Amino acid sequence: MDTKEILLESLEKFCTNTSGKCKNSFFENWFTKNGKTYNFIFKQNLFVTNLQFRELIDLIRLNVKKGSERPQINFMTTNEFIDLTSNIIESFIDEKALKNIREKNIDVSKIRRELGTICENYGSLFENIIVIDASYTSCIVSVPNGLELNVQQICFQSGYIHSCGENIYTRNMKKAKYDALVDRLKTYLQDYKEPLNFIMYTHEDFPIKNKMYVNDFQKHGLDEIKFYLEKFYMQDVSLIQVMERLRNDTRLEGKIKIMGKAEAKQSHAEESIWMIIDRSIGSDPKYPGDKRYYICYKQMYINENPFHIFDEDKPGWINPVTIPHTLVGAMINIGRGEWPNNVKERYRVIDPFVGSGTTGLEVLKYDDIDFWGGDKCEISRMIARMNLRFFAMDIKDLQYIQDLVLAYLEGLNTEKYTMIMKELNIKKGGEKDSKKTLAIGIQYQLSSIQGQFNEKEFVGNYCSIVKELSKIITSRVSAKDKKYLTEEKVEFIAQLFVLLTWRAYKHNEFRYEKAEDFDLTSDSAEEFKGFLYRLLSYIHLRERGKDDIMDGNNEGRMVTYLGKYTRACTINSKFIYHNINGSASQIRDGIDVIDFLKSFEESKVDLIITDPPYGFNTPEEKPIFSKLYIKFINAMVRTMDNGGQIIMCLPSVSYSGKTVNVFAQKEIVSRQFMIAAQENNMFIAENEGNFPKPSEIYSFPFYWDSEKALRRDIVRFQFFRKN
């Protein structure tokens, strides 16, 4: 059937339904039977941020098609859609006529004219409505027939989406029934010839490991959609019994395989059915409500963006207040969602406080963005280029670094090294022993120059420190590795060890008041351990994808491959490799922010994504910093093209006791942007959008919360020229 026929059929089902659920019958036919319903699972929940829901809406806008066109979408919740449907139908067909039809006193054909009028007048409205129902860590998206959603691109481009797939069964735990689950599974699987894996996301099978060292978004994210198999029920049936019944239920005709974690990892399936739980959103969106839901969905794609493994802890790192990759990715997508449709082929994006290059890495996912970054730090470009090189390395290089870090850890802390080797089940000897001499040389060199690891000396001495360490590495490398370790690889290793040691200094500088307390190389053991665990996760990710590229080509931005349990999508390391020099050249370091922004006043920009300094870790006095904010706010506005946007992070609450400077707070900054817009003959657009409920999770300002450090406000300003 075409879309108009489906709409007419859905209207008739509303009018003829006698079960008391006539309002739901239209929804069921329009979306569930003839459309598509997807589940999107987020890496972090509303305790951390509310940015993920708006990001999803903007990604839908960017990746939905109606034929060859990108339509203007209206977003509603299920309840809002059902109320809209009822109001429209009941305004054309009176209550008496509906009652007669449902009691079979008259045939539905008697009101066919009225139903035709509804189709004619409101068909385009229904065809362009997408229903979104938000939960605490996930979201259900219902798409009508006629609209095509590119969920692969949504998953790949996202900052906060962990995985996505087609919904099979979602129900409040108090109302969930085993037979209803089976009926949905049977209907969904009727066209499948081969069985699908069925995995329950339980604490028993998926415990947290190494949560202190690997940023795998477990706390306040994936860990909270797991359940305890022995404690949860569907009415009087425990989930253990549910698993056993599903395994043997003849109604499913053997079309699912109940699997534990170990079995599922070995099965190499492109798609898997998962069962998770989630909670409703509370009156304060930061906290969950009282309702809990069972969610059963077929996972189609998982987002294995390698940047997310490191997030705030990339190898190249300058400042402890570093913006996470997930957050930057979401900010870019929200900005892209407000770009005019089909106006430009390419958009100009800049970050005037680019730091270690987070924004520069994230924009590599998009083929319509030209990016430039600037930073006052004189080694920013070197650090950004180092990060690009790291994510472009082949597996052999990554494994070499793994072995070298292990050997280095053995020299720093034998007890910690032994614990790591045991935990990772790594056997000592062979290749790893060949790195010992090199590791000892690196340790000796870093110990001898640790006095240069301080705020005043480090940046200025960075190049000379790396150069001297590179000499030590070259002189001590084994004969076997001499040909393998090119000059570029030696420099990378030197930078890595210097920067991890620098990170240890920044995390421990409060302890170094006395000279005798200064033992930086020993204190860096924890930093190297944390990096090692993240590195191992990254190596495992790369090994999964090395031989199984399914979509895209070896040179493209995105590749998909068989991940742990389903298809995975990620940025292509080969694409990064071919763009290292070009991407690094787009970053200007050692430049004042005003001078950097001034260079764009003529050419103009479409989007500024930035996380400016908050005055927490700088020697400048507050009046100087306050004046800097006024200057760079004015300078940013002067770069804006018509419709240009500025999306930025600002400090809201400090959890470390530091004072949040008033010049960096959104109340003051917002007013300064208004003044700057007026002075530049522009105005700031207030775009509320047509967002579903609860509207506060879709509208600026957004929050991003770190329990250890601070709460950020994410604000957005869009500028248009007057007249």
- Amino acid (1-letter code) at residue 653: V
Give the sign of the dihedral formed by CA 311, CA 351, CA 576, CA 465. Answer: negative
Give the SS3 label for residue 272: strand
Average of pLDDT values for 150-175? 97
Structure tokens at 499: 């920067």
Every domain of the chain with CATH number 3.30.2130 lies at 36-67+129-303
Q: How far apart are CA 556 and CA 472, in angstroms?
A: 38
Q: Which of 632, 645, 634, 633 has the alpha carbon at shortest distance from 605?
A: 645
- Amino acid (1-letter code) at residue 174: K
Q: What stretch of H or E contains 75? A: strand 74-76
Q: How far apart are CA 488 and CA 500, in angstroms?
A: 18
Which residues does residue 74 pair with via DSSP β-bridges, in sequence order?
A: 129
pLDDT above 90: percentage of residues in the chain: 64
Which residues does residue 710 pair with via DSSP β-bridges, in sequence order?
A: 654
Give the pLDDT confidence score for residue 213 in this predicted structure: 44
Average of pLDDT values for 476-483? 85
Which residues touch 603 (CB under 8 Å, ≥6 apart)? 348
- Say if residue 342's pLDDT is above 70: no
Average of pLDDT values for 514-532? 77
- Please name the residue that has the structure tokens 């390395």: 393
Query: How do beta strands 605-610 and 347-351 pair?
Result: parallel
Q: Which of 221, 276, 325, 259 has the alpha carbon at shortest distance from 564?
A: 259
Q: How far apart are CA 170 and CA 409, in angstroms?
A: 48
Which residues touch 589 (CB under 8 Å, ≥6 apart)? 374, 375, 376, 377, 378, 379, 380, 381, 382
Alpha helices, DSSP H only, in 204-356? Answer: 239-248, 261-267, 307-310, 325-337
- Amino acid (1-letter code) at residue 103: E
**Cβ distance 709 to 669 under 8 Å?**
no
- pLDDT, the chain, mean: 89
pLDDT above 70: percentage of residues in the chain: 93
Distances (CA, A) of 586 to 101, 344, 503: 68, 21, 25
Q: Which of the four pLDDT bands, split at 50, 70 and 90, describes residue 430?
A: very low
- Say if residue 424's pLDDT is above 90: no
* Each residue's pLDDT tens digit, 647-702: 999 999 888 777 888 889 999 999 999 999 999 999 999 776 788 989 889 999 99
- Say if residue 596's pLDDT is above 50: yes
Distances (CA, A) of 328 to 46, 273, 572, 580, 680: 17, 30, 19, 20, 28
Every domain of the chain with CATH number 3.40.50.150 lies at 315-377+590-721
Structure tokens at 97: 């006529």
Give the pLDDT confidence score for residue 219 in this predicted structure: 82
Average of pLDDT values for 403-431? 73
Task: Work out the angle at residue 552's Cα, subtended by the Cα atoms of residues 547 and 557, and round it to the nearest 5 degrees.
Answer: 100
DSSP string of 533-591, one letter each residue: HHHHHHHHHHHHHSS---BS-TTSSEEEEE-SSSEEEEE-HHHHHHTHHHHHHTEEES-
333: phi > 0 → left, psi -120 to 50 → alpha, else beta; which? Answer: alpha
**Cβ distance 215 to 312 under 8 Å?**
yes
Query: How do beta strands 640-654 and 74-76 pair?
Result: unpaired
- Say if residue 22's pLDDT is above 90: no
Burial (Cβ within 10 Å: 0-12, 13-18, ≥19) of residue 376? middle
- Say if residue 418's pLDDT is above 60: yes
Give the pLDDT confidence score for residue 500 in this predicted structure: 92
Give the SS3 label for residue 447: helix
Q: Which of 419, 427, 423, 412 has the alpha carbon at shortest distance from 500?
A: 412
Torsion of CA 169, 171, 175, 180, to 10 degrees: -10
Q: Say whether the peptide bond before residue 651 is cis (omega within 30 degrees of 0).
A: no
Q: Which of the four pLDDT bands, split at 50, 70 and 90, describes residue 586?
A: very high
Which residues touch 469 (CB under 8 Å, ≥6 apart)? 442, 445, 446, 494, 497, 498
Tally helices (H) and strands (E) across the chain.
Answer: 26, 23
Which residues touch 144 (CB under 8 Å, ≥6 apart)? 3, 30, 31, 34, 35, 126, 127, 129, 130
Torsion of CA 257, 261, 265, 269, to 10 degrees: 30
Q: How far apart are CA 146 and CA 139, in angstroms?
A: 21
CA–centroid distance for 169 within its chain: 25
Q: Which of the four pLDDT bands, split at 50, 70 and 90, describes residue 513?
A: low
Structure tokens at 309: 């493994």
Give the SS3 label for residue 66: strand
| CATH number, domain 315-377+590-721 | 3.40.50.150
Please state the three-class secondary structure of 657-706 as a single string: CCCCCHHHCHHHHHHHHHHHHHHCCEEEECCCCCCCCCHHHCCCCEEEEC
Q: What stretch of H or E contains 82? A: helix 78-92
* Each residue's pLDDT tens digit, 172-228: 999 999 999 999 999 999 999 899 999 999 999 988 765 544 455 678 999 999 999
Give the pLDDT confidence score for residue 617 in this predicted structure: 59
**Cβ distance 340 to 643 under 8 Å?**
yes
Give the pLDDT confidence score for residue 156 in this predicted structure: 97
CATH topology for 36-67+129-303?
VC0802-like (3.30.2130)
Does residue 497 or residue 423 have the better pLDDT?
A: 497
Average of pLDDT values for 468-481? 90
